[in-house]
Structures are given as structure tokens and as C-alpha cells.
Amino acid sequence: MIADFYNYWVAIILMMIGFYIVISDANLIKKMIGITIFQTSVFILFISMSKVEGGTAPILIDEVTLYSNPLPHVLILTAIVVGVATTALGLAIIARIYREYGTVDENIIHAKDEEEYEDSDEDLS
Amino acid sequence: MDIQTIVDISLLTLLAVTALILLRLNNLLAAVLLSGIYSLLTAGLFVSLDAVDVAFTEAAVGAGLTTVLLLGAVAITGREQSVTRHSRILPIAVTTVTAAALIYGTLDMPKFGDPMAPIHTHVAPRYIEMSGEEIGIPNIVTSVLASYRGYDTLGEVTVVFTAAIGVMLLLGGVIKRKSKPKKHE
Amino acid sequence: MNNRRSLILREVSNVVIPSVLLYALYVQFHGEYGPGGGFQAGVIFAAGVILYALVYGRKKTQKIFPTSVIRYFVSIGLLLYAGVGVASMFMGGNFLDYNVLSHDPQHGQHLGILLIELGVGITVAAVMIMIFYMLDEYAEKK
């Protein structure tokens, strides 16, 4: 029973760890690491589903007839490369935020925003 | 239990442990390096699950490039880890409830490695049987990626291209900093 | 500062970098027979260049792979990919239908896959190198 679902459960645990980092950690770079963990857990879930008992890697050779499912591999292969591109984009945004606010801490950024908002409010009235 | 199951289970356990340590780490530099190790473990897991192409990509991308990019970002922002924290009760509650719901969902899923799972009975067998004849190359993943689903891959490459444009626009321009934003009266 | 990196680091990378770049080409053109293909090859090639930049500094790397040239390669790969699609349309097939590219459908498939994998490889490598340059330049601008 446990071995039947172990892969799925670990994928879910990893997903939740990533999710927890994203919502509980105030540091933006740590959040990006959380997102990559979340992403990887989805990859593990897909690749686990593609596995066939007794199958081999989907590269055709004469002696073998049973292969693992190649479709999830294709999906995840491209997803990994797209994932690093989006991570780079996220890091670029974080770098800009750092130059603007001098911090990558979400709470301090919020506080600075509030301050500015209140300043502009006083100006208006 | 055969050797493959043992490798599978131990790699997954190591992954979970690495992620848990990552969760508790406060030093950003250590967290970045640990995420590289995490990716390398994932690549190993993919090899044991027969996904050699994916393992290859994950090893090169996750353990290599992502780590370098994260290090670059840490070099820009400094290693400071914030002291402020959100309250922990709500995140723990949310993740526990979500995890419980998802695990309840897996109970309906086909068993790990089941050859009769729906995913293996539709579409995929055709690629496995016919791609050798139709495309004439042994690597089925490449056949599907480049030929059968060439359209999708074109889209993926466009996404990568767009991300590069985004990074160039965000970081490449002239920077004017510390000029207080003008307030509209 | 960059030129005064450790001797061991430089000597080891002198051995490693050429093999990494060569390996990237192997993965690129052998992807039909074993694991590999454009995505992996592009990333490995970029990793080799980035390793060079980490050891010898970005300025020196930009003399070999200038930003202005890399910028063009970002789009050349994508254009090559889409161009194969358009070419197959002009030769009487559907978009990205490689069967018509050659007299024999299988040869056409071979040619088409080789070309689009090359396009993928060029774009991915150029994008990764470009992103690294951008982050590194940004880190220097204070």
C-alpha cells in the first residue's frame, strides 16, 4: 500500500513544503526557491505516473518491447527549461525591487509602500 | 522489494529531508546551494524512473543554471535573510488541509508502475509502436517533442525567448535610482 | 580582480570547458539516438560559457561572445524553428510537417528534426548566456 503511493505522497509533501515557503517566508529570493521546489514536485508527480513496472527508458532497441510512457517526459522536459526562464524573470524583478527599496523583505517593502501612500494622502488634503 | 524500489524510496526520502532542511535554513547562500543539491537528487530520481532525457535536463538546468542564477541574485541583494516573519499558524493550517485533500485524491489513482493505468493505454502506445517507422529515429521522446508535437515545442521556445526579452527589459535599461517619485497634486 | 583567480580553478576549467562545449555539440547532434536534444545541448553550452565567465570574468567572455551577437542569436534560433515550419508549408505540406522536406518522408523527418533541434539549441543557449550577462552587469551597476 505504502510503496504503491509513496511517490505521489512524497510529491505532495514536497509541493506543500514549497507552498509553505512561498506563503510564510518574507524573503523574496527564498520565495523563488520555494517556487522551484513546488515546480519540481509537479515534475516528480508526472514522471512517477509515466513509470511502467518492468519498462525501460523510451529509446527504441530491438530486444525490448516494454517502455515507460514517453508523453509525460516530453511535457516535463520542456517545462524544466521554461521553468528556469521564468525563474530568471522572477529574479530580474527581485533585483529591480531591491534597487528600488533597498531590501528583499516583503514586510519592509509593504511598510515603505504604506508610508509613501500616507505621505501622498497628506499632500492631497 | 527489488533494488529499483529501494533506490526510488531512498531518493524520495532524501528529497523530502533536503526540502525540510531548506525550509528551516536562514542563510540564503546555504539555501541556494542546498537547492542545487535538491535538483541533483531529483535528476537521480528521474533516472531511476526511466526518464533519462528529463534527468539530463534537470541535472544541467536545475543543478547547474538555476543555482548560478540564484547565486547571481544573492550577489545583488546580499545574503541578508529577513528577521520579520509572518505568523506561522495560518500557513501551516493551509498546507496541512491542502495536503490532506491531495493525499485523499491520490487514493483513487492507479498504483505506481501499473502498466494498465489509463495514461498508458491511450495515445502513448501509438507513439511507441509507430514512431520507429514514421519518424525513423530511436529516441521516442525526441520524435514526440520535435515532430508529433512540434507545434507545442515552438510555443515553449517562444516562452523562453519572451522570458529573455523580459529580463533584458528589466535589467538592461538605464537605471536612475533614489530620485523620489513625483507626487501628483 | 578577475584575472587573479586561483591557479587551480583556472587550470581545471581550462580542461573542463572545452569538453563541456564539445559535449554540448555531441548532445545536440546525437539527441535522436540517445538521450539529449536541443534543450539540453543549449543549456550545457551556456553552462560552459558561464563557467568561463565565472573563472575569467564577464568582460573577457564578452570579447568571445559579445552581447550584441548573442542578442541576435536569441531570435535566430526561434526564426530557424518557425522557418522550417514555413518552408514545409511552401513545399506543399502542413506547418511543421517534415515529410515533404525531402524526397523520402523519413529523410524529411530527419532533416526537419535536426534543423528545429538546432534552432531550439541556439535560442536556449543564447537566452541563458544573455540572462547571465544581464544579471552580472546589473550586479556591477551600483
Q: pLDDT tens digits, residue range B49-87? A: 999 999 999 998 888 889 999 998 998 887 766 666 667
Interface test with A, best of C30, C122, C127, C131 (most A CBs within 10 A): C131
Beta carbons of B79 and B29 less than 8 angstroms apart: yes
C7-45 per-position pLDDT tens digit: 888 899 999 999 999 999 999 998 888 888 889 999 999
Pairwise CB contact (< 8 Å): C40 & B146: no
Residues of A in contact with C39 (CB under 8 A): 77-78, 80-81
List the subunits that have 3+ CB pairs under 8 angstroms with A. B, C
**CB-count exposure of residue B129 (10 Å: 0-12, 13-18, 19+):** exposed
With bands split at pLDDT 50, 70 and 90, how would you rate the model's confidence at B4?
Answer: confident
Average pLDDT, chain B: 86
Full-model pTM? 0.89
**CB-count exposure of residue C61 (10 Å: 0-12, 13-18, 19+):** buried
Pairwise CB contact (< 8 Å): A73 & B53: yes
Whole-number pLDDT of residue B183: 52
Name the residue of chain C whose CA is nearest to A79's CA: C39
Entry field: residues in chain A: 125
Whole-number pLDDT of residue B185: 44
Beta carbons of C53 and C9 less than 8 angstroms apart: no
Q: Does domain A2-124 have CATH number 1.10.287.3510?
A: yes
- Write phi, then psi, for A102 (nearest 5 degrees): 75, 15
Whole-number pLDDT of residue C84: 92
3-state SS class at B139: strand
* Higher local confidence (pLDDT), B132 or A43: A43
* Higher local confidence (pLDDT), A4 or A76: A76
Report the pLDDT averaged over residues C97-121. 89
ipTM of the complex: 0.89
Is 70 exceeded by the pLDDT of residue B175?
Answer: no
Is 90 exceeded by the pLDDT of residue B43?
Answer: yes
Residues of B in contact with A4 (CB under 8 A): 111-112
Residues 6+ apart with CB under 8 A from C19: none
Rounded Cα distance between A10 and A28, Å, is: 25
Whole-number pLDDT of residue C1: 44
Which residues, listed in sequence order, are joined to residue A67 by a DSSP beta bridge? A56
Proportion of chain C above pLDDT 70, given as a percent? 96
Q: Which of residues 34-73 of C touch A (CB under 8 A)?
A: 34-35, 37, 39, 43
Beta carbons of B64 and B45 less than 8 angstroms apart: no
